[in-house]
Structure 1
Amino acid sequence: MSSKQQILANIRKHRPASSPLPDLNEAWIEYEDREAQFWETLKFVGGQGQSLDDRSQLEAAVRQLPCFPDARQIVCRVAGLSLGNVDVDSIDDPHDLASVDLAILPGEFAVAENGAVWVTERTVRHRAIYFLTQHLVLVAPRGQLLDNLHQAYERLRFGEPGYGLFISGPSKTADIEQSLVIGAHGPRSLNVFLV
């Protein structure tokens, strides 16, 4: 028996007994005011945003963001908005997105519990844009605001290959001299609009 086989045999021999998975069918947290909870949590993690009555207010709201006047390269994948000047579909190499100042992208739903928005690659050719842009704007349907992650997980489908993630707040790290740094590994700001 080789040393590798011996090590693996010892691991199998001393494997702990398996235990059943916990029952997750219970009452999870629900909020009286889901929107208020979402905004409070998003602000706590460094994000900003607002609810809009209808999509006609969206362009004006984006133009009022502090990052908008200085944004030279803008990717916009939100239907009905014409703020973008970078055609992401014509870019073959995602590295070319490193100079994007502002990305305005759709989210599928939002979660009040952690101030997160679920995004996928369905409308975005290069998923790197979520991390390479300097400033990120996510637009999610106001009617698709959920209370908790358990409700969110019930909506996710993993039957086909794809990419998706929850984004909550801008990029942040505290491992640089034990100081909180915003934007070290991704967007320096996150704004969410619920429409």
Structure 2
Amino acid sequence: MLKKTPATTTSRQAVLDRLTGKHVVGPGLPTVAFDQTVQFDDPVAKFIEVLSTVGGQAHVIDDVEQIGQILGEIPVYANAKRVVSLVPEAIAGSLDVATIDDPHALASVDWTIARGEFAVAENGAIWVEGATMPHRVLLFIAQYLAIVVSRSQMVHNLHQGYARIGTPKSPFGVFVSGPSKTADIEQSLVLGAHGCRALQVFLTP
């Protein structure tokens, strides 16, 4: 009976070491001609239009006090038990996330009210900076999501959006445009499969 020879990783490690030690200079990023990118006569109107086509709803408001009034007319908000507000000047939440260390404790959150840095007219997305999120899961675990963003911080397209982000302030940040949806199973559209079931966006001055 032949004796099995133990496998050796010496050759493989030598290859990996050579790859690790080799400095490869990649091609630089392309220069974007911003004057040739898509521009809109009314970017706010375009944002509202695009957000509507993907299932979200936008509200143009003049004062943050209107947020509570509008949300109060939505039954699933009026009946909500656990609301996390990261925009306390607009909405007083019923759950203090500062006292929560384990994100699993947020599994039953009904609403998250988050703050957006800027919005993109081209695709109806809002950039949410991770530094504003005590737990990043709040954007995805809540049944319903509302984002407050200034309409003065509207950009026309994603080229401008990424230029605006530059080097992110924190390791986490995300473009949000909702609600979550999938049609993988029998081509049947399901909302809220991987995130919020509905998205409300409040466009402040």
- 2:52 aligned with 1:24: no
* Paired-residue identity, %: 46
- 1:91 alignment counterpart: 100
Q: Which residue, 123, 135, 146 being the options, matches 1:137?
A: 146
- Aligned amino acid, residue 40 of structure 1: E
Using the size of structure 2 for normalisation, the TM-score is 0.82
Question: Alpha carbon RMSD of aligned pairs, Å?
Answer: 2.3
2:136 paired with 1:111? no
Partner-residue secondary structure (3-state), 2:162:
helix
Give me the whole-angstrom Cα distance separating, in 1, the residues matched to 2:176 and 2:185: 22
Q: What is the identity, as a one-letter code, of the residue corresponding to 2:135?
A: H
Q: Stretches of 4+ moved more than 3 A in 1?
A: 1-6, 18-23
Is 2:191 the partner of 1:178? no
- Structure 2 gaps of 5+ residues are 1-9, 19-25
With normalisation by structure 1, the TM-score equals 0.86
1:41-95: CA deviations, max 9, x gaps? 0011111121102223222122223421221100011041343100011111101
The CA distance in 2 between the partners of 1:31 and 1:142, in whole Å, is 14
Distance 1:28 1:86, change over 3 A: same
Choose 1 or 2 for highest CA Rg: 2
Gapped regions of structure 1 (runs ≥ 5): 10-17
Q: How many residues align?
A: 187
Residue 107 of structure 2 aligns to a residue in which SS?
Answer: helix
Equivalent residue, structure 2, for 1:192: 201
Secondary structure of the 1:68 match is: helix
Point out the more displaced range, 89-98 or 62-71: 62-71
Paired position in structure 2 for 1:68:
77
Say whether 1:38 aligns with 2:51: no
